[in-house]
């Protein structure tokens, strides 16, 4: 019984870290929409073309999630999560730095690859570390990170972008990771 009590005491902070990771991923996925006019001007493309950054991220996320799960299936959960956040942060740093629309599109795919690795693994890891009794609560907390990104992350990222330019928002998202 002492071992299960220790598991109960440890799972919450670990799951909170995973939820914060999904907050970062969600912020990245949702914030670009609020920055489209600035991105459009900066990259000398139409707002519709700038909007494709959202589509490219989403499509890459959807396609890469099962592929990367298959490729990393033999890795430890920790290795997958750390690699995912490193790829995600690198993609956002690259987005902040690269010139030109084609390179920004490519960096959005890189960020999406990290996100596609992180989110499903965060849910699975939360379920595993929380134990059977707290599994649903742990998965809900990880999902709550994504939901909170809609309520707080995207508006904050948009405010940062409006104040200091859209690239500053990419630095902000990278720092969250």
The CA distance from 91 to 103, in Å, is: 11
Ordered per-residue pLDDT tens for the chain, 177 residues: 445 555 566 888 999 999 999 999 999 999 999 999 999 999 999 999 999 999 999 999 999 999 999 999 999 999 999 999 999 999 999 999 999 999 999 999 999 999 999 999 999 999 999 988 999 999 999 999 999 999 999 999 999 999 999 999 999 999 999
- The whole-model pTM stands at 0.92
Buried-exposed string 85-101: b where 16+ CB fall within 10 A, e elsewhere: bebbbbbbbbbbeeeeb
SS3 131: coil
Q: Domains of the chain (ranges plus CATH)?
A: 2-176 (1.20.1250.20)
Residue 143's nearest CA partner among 128, 127, 158 is 127
- The C-alpha angle with vertex 121 and arms to 29 and 34, in degrees rounded to 5, equals 5
């Amino acid at each position: 019984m002492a071992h299960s009590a220790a598991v109960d005491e440890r799972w919450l902070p670990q799951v909170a870290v995973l939820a914060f990771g999904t907050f970062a991923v969600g912020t990245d996925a949702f914030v670009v929409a609020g920055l489209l006019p600035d991105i459009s001007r900066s990259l000398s493309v139409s707002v519709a073309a700038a909007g494709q950054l959202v589509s490219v991220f989403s499509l890459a996320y959807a396609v890469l999630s099962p592929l990367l799960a298959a490729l990393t299936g033999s890795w430890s959960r920790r290795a997958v999560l750390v690699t995912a956040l490193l790829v995600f942060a690198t993609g956002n740093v690259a987005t902040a730095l690269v010139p030109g629309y084609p390179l920004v599109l490519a960096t959005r795919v890189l960020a999406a690859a990290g996100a596609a690795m992180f989110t499903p693994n965060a849910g699975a890891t939360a379920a595993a570390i929380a134990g059977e009794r707290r599994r649903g609560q742990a998965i809900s907390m990880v999902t709550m990170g994504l939901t909170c990104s809609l309520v707080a992350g995207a508006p904050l990222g948009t405010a940062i972008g409006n104040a200091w330019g859209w690239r500053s928002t990419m630095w902000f998202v990278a720092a969250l990771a």
